[in-house]
Amino acid sequence: QRKAYYCAKISTNYALKVQIAHDFHYRIVHVSECFRGSVDDITVLRESGLLEHVNNAVQIIADKGYIGEEYVITPKKKPHGRELIDEDKDLNHDINSTRAAIENINQRLKIYAILGGVYRGTIDGFHKATKIVQVVCILCNLNLIKHSIRR
């Protein structure tokens, strides 16, 4: 059963995964259900319902784990055996600068011990864990109103 929660990106190697999206005002606007740590990020995105709300006017900026999904802007991968052209390097810089704010919000979420540490609740269902993440995101949004990421 533990294998289903394995996630190589996490130092403890076992995790629940949740997808969080924010707007350009750095407020969390979407929280997905919790998933097992072994589920790919792109699968979480596809099953989260977030893609139903994106179009040409509203797009998602994400990391390279989301390449291939329409309306998701990701950094360009370096071609095998070649360098990126300057235009792609500039685009990657802009995307990564924007994503830095996302990582800052993720770090603020981890300040709350229940998300930044070991979850000791049961893993029978993810409903309770999802509710915990949603409450922490609300608290984080209140904190972001007082202490903005960028001014």
- Answer yes or no: is 69 within a domain: yes
pLDDT on residue 7: 59
56 assigned to some structural domain: yes
Question: What is the CA 31 to chain-centroid distance, rounded?
Answer: 9
Domain count, the chain: 1
Residue 151 lies in a domain: no
Handedness of CA 105, 106, 108, 114 (dihedral sign): positive
Q: Which domain holds residue 122?
A: 2-146
Instruction: Please state, in angstroms and rounded to a whole number, the distance separating the CA atoms of residues 123 and 17.
Output: 12
Is there a domain that residue 36 lies in? Answer: yes
- Cβ-count burial 95-134 (b if 16+ within 10 Å, e if not): beeebeebeebeebbeebebbeeeeeeebeebeebbebbb
Averaged pLDDT, 21-32: 90
Span 69-90, pLDDT tens digits: 889 999 998 888 999 999 999 9
**How confident is the model over 96-135, as pLDDT tens digits?**
988 888 889 988 998 888 887 776 767 677 888 899 999 9
Tokens (6 digits) for 95: 């995307």
**Amino acid present at 47:** E
Parallel, antiparallel or unpaired: strands 60-61 and 72-73: parallel
